[in-house]
Amino acid sequence: MKSQKVQFDSKQSTLSGAGVNLKPQHYEEALSLADSSAQTKATPGLWFEVHTENYFVRGGPRLHYLQAIANSFPLSFHGVGGSLGSFTEKPADMTTRHLSQVAGLVKRFNPVMVSEHATWSTSQHAYFADLMPLPRTEQALACLCEGIDHYQEAIGRSILIENPTNYLDFVSEMDEADFLMEAVQRTGAGLLLDVNNLYLSYRNTALDPKHYLEALDPAKVGEIHIAGFDVDPNFPNDLLIDSHAAPVDEAVWELLATALTKLGPKPVLLERDDNVPSFDELMQERNRAYDLLTASNNTEHESQLAVAHA
Amino acid sequence: MPDTTFKHSDYLDSFTQFMKSGENEPLATYLEGARPIGFLNVYRNGYLKASVSGLESNFPALVTFWGEDYFRQVANAYVDYAPPNSATLVGYGFDATHDEPNPSFFEFMQTQLPEVVAQFPYVIDICRLEQAWLQALNESSEGVLTLETVQDLIARGEDLAELPLQLVDSSRVIELDYDILPLWSQLRFGEVTEGQQIEVQENTVIFWQRDLQVQAKQLMEAEAVFMKSLKQNESFDAATSMALGMDENFDVSTLFAELLNAQLLKLEN
């Protein structure tokens, strides 16, 4: 039976432009752009994303600065510890505590977007601080959907789920794009397409990005991530690691352009979590993403005009 | 065709075992293709790196004290022994709570690495200060009693002695066995002076948050008794009596003014 849930539609989203994931060392510089005239002229379409779990605190500078940012810029929450793919197998008290904290933050800051990962990280009372893959089976899909359902129920809104980075091939009953599309269809969630993850999955496991992008419903894609990766020194030709510790690779920029062409304009986020450079350096990369996005916006606008005049 | 009839719970159990122990053989049945099973280490390495990094953020003075290499060696052993229980690493390694029922980083050292504690007996004090400082920083600072509020209460004829006064939520009273606050402060925030002597000397320190920064004060004996009493939800009067029992010259009026000025008081809800 098909779900009657309200379905995510990217056309309804108010998030646009290009963002940066915000680090504490950049709070002041980010806020210096908060003056509305300066922001409009220098950094149009700027928004910020934070890792939700880093704000599981009761007060202090983190929440203070987050409030100041939220007062001036669109804000997106990106969860890294929801462990949606092990929902049925992790202790209920851990899930309840986690969702209660996420819900409190969502209520307080009212972010434009909330997202999580189609992976797992918690099992048997242990939180493994990484994003572990799911085998693409019906059972795993059901578990993931239950996790998404509870997450969305707890915060009272729909979320986006992010595609994983693949390092190996796990036995599967369906392609990753089909698996994710089925999950968003059943739950009413949307998709966060991480182009860097897609590129690494292509390089690591020969997943076909062209086929992958064609299998996605553009209306379900609410956000795109880009980031840098590392080459494993022991297996330089065979293993690329999603480190977020380097500038975005040229091949990922190219794939971003392809994705924007196929999916239409989507808000793009630059992620950097390690070897974090200066704010200016990050903003230069972010501005390149914004320019690409603007170009794709113009292309879409021109094609719509062409259709209208046809 | 690969067999996909396995239970999802079995898959997660096998992966969990791998993440905890590094044994990857049980996961072989869930893999296909020719990629080396050793590539699974990307996940375990990522988990260990992130967890150790979390401990480095929570115990920065200890990292400086021991150096990165030795700290990471001990931290890796702790992560193996007590993986995080909560999907935030803020507070990982601190004393057990409902959210994080693990043995603390220091308790782990006491039970599993007693030779480390024997070599550095004041490490528990460093850990106590690290925990208290970060908890004070991340606590709510709402409800601070201000001079204006006190003046307003006096103007309305309220008896200050009757007010339900408490220390602010961000306050942490730390009892130490060594005179280590100066060294910890240098390790945490600045240059370490060479050749410092660390004396065995019981003392008490209070941390609290003011204007988004953590303040620190070493307490006199009577002050310490007073603060600990307030922290244990004793009334202002009872705390004063206990402090006077320690020092008959204890001057609560002066201390009240200092606490008010330092933004250390709140009215009990």
A238-265 residue pLDDT tens:
999 999 999 999 999 999 999 999 999 9
Inspect the interface and report whether the beta carbons of B9 and A89 lie closer than 8 Å: yes
What mean pLDDT is predicted for residues A24-51? Answer: 86
Among the residue ranges A227-231, A253-257, B41-45, B249-253, the one predicted with the least confidence is: B249-253
Among the residue ranges A86-95, A98-107, A270-279, the one predicted with the least confidence is: A86-95
Give the pLDDT confidence of B122-168 residue by residue, as tens digits: 999 999 999 999 999 999 999 999 999 999 998 999 888 788 999 99
Q: Is B246 exposed, middle or buried (0-12, 13-18, 19+ CB in 10 A)?
A: middle
Q: Is the pLDDT of residue B44 over 60?
A: yes
Residue B209's H or E segment, with its range, is strand B200-210
Predicted local confidence at residue A43, as pLDDT: 85
**The residue type at B172:** R
What mean pLDDT is predicted for residues A180-201? Answer: 98
Chain A residues whose CB is inside 8 A of the B19 CB are: 126, 128, 132
CA distance B200 to chain A (A): 33
Query: What was the ipTM of the complex prediction?
Result: 0.93
CA distance A231 to chain B (A): 12
What mean pLDDT is predicted for residues A201-220? Answer: 97
Closest CA to A83 of A129, A48, A38, A40: A129
Please give the model's pTM, rounded to 2 decimal places: 0.93
Alpha helix segments (H runs only) across B82-144: 105-112, 114-119, 123-137
Give the pLDDT confidence of A150-178 residue by residue, as tens digits: 999 999 999 999 999 999 999 999 999 99
Contact B266, B143 (CB under 8 A): yes
Predicted local confidence at residue A1, as pLDDT: 46
Q: Is the pLDDT of residue B45 over 70?
A: yes
Q: Which residues, numbered 161 to 200 in chain B, qualify as contacts with chain A under a Cβ-Cβ cut-off of 8 Å? A: 169-170
Tokens of B180: 């280590």
What mean pLDDT is predicted for residues B110-127? Answer: 94
